[in-house]
Amino acid sequence: MILISLARGAAGNEPWTAVKPYLGSHNPFLTRAMPATDLSNSLVTLFSELVDGAPGGGGAFILNSGDAGLLRSLDALSADDASRSVNDGATIAAHAQHVRYGVSLMNRWATEGGNPFADATWDEAWKVSVVDEATWAEIRTGLRDETRRWRYALATPRSTTTVELNGMVGSVAHLAYHLGAIRQIAKGARGPREGTFG
């Protein structure tokens, strides 16, 4: 079993040094280990909920019960909807393309290793503004493919550095941010209010 340690024992390489006086040096949180499969399962669950939606009737962790998630929310929008922005900010299409690109970099890391972010061209995605139906469909198809591949990568336990693990967890948080941003732009992309799914 691969274990991901929540505390480092080597002097000078202990991330909890600053908080130990507050938590106590014998706090079980600092000394227990978590099986990598548990962490992988949690990441897959949270990522899948954001991408594919939350189950109805409870069991959701991030979204409200019965929420359609990112992909189906985007599928409900026309190219005109996707070309909208608020206060001259990024369009929905730009947010979707940005997420697609970011997840593609995570997929490159998972398959090739190294640091695909070193030569990332983030500005390209943000240049997307007005899209036609064909371009909007291509962005959504590409996003669907990249999220499917990343879900598979998240489900595959691996030995990681702290930076890599932070990137994996951050990919879930980053997706949640952009889903929220998209839903502030387009009412049609919003999920149900809690308690309204029936």
Average pLDDT across the chain, whole number: 82
Residue 77 has pLDDT above 90, yes or no: yes
Q: Could you tell me which of 158, 198, 184, 168 has the C-alpha nearest to residue 47?
A: 168
Domains (range + CATH), the chain: 1-31 (no CATH), 35-189 (1.20.120)
pTM score, two decimals? 0.78
- How much is the pLDDT for 4? 39
Distance CA 127, CA 125 (A): 5
Residue 14 has pLDDT above 90, yes or no: no
Higher pLDDT, 192 or 39: 39
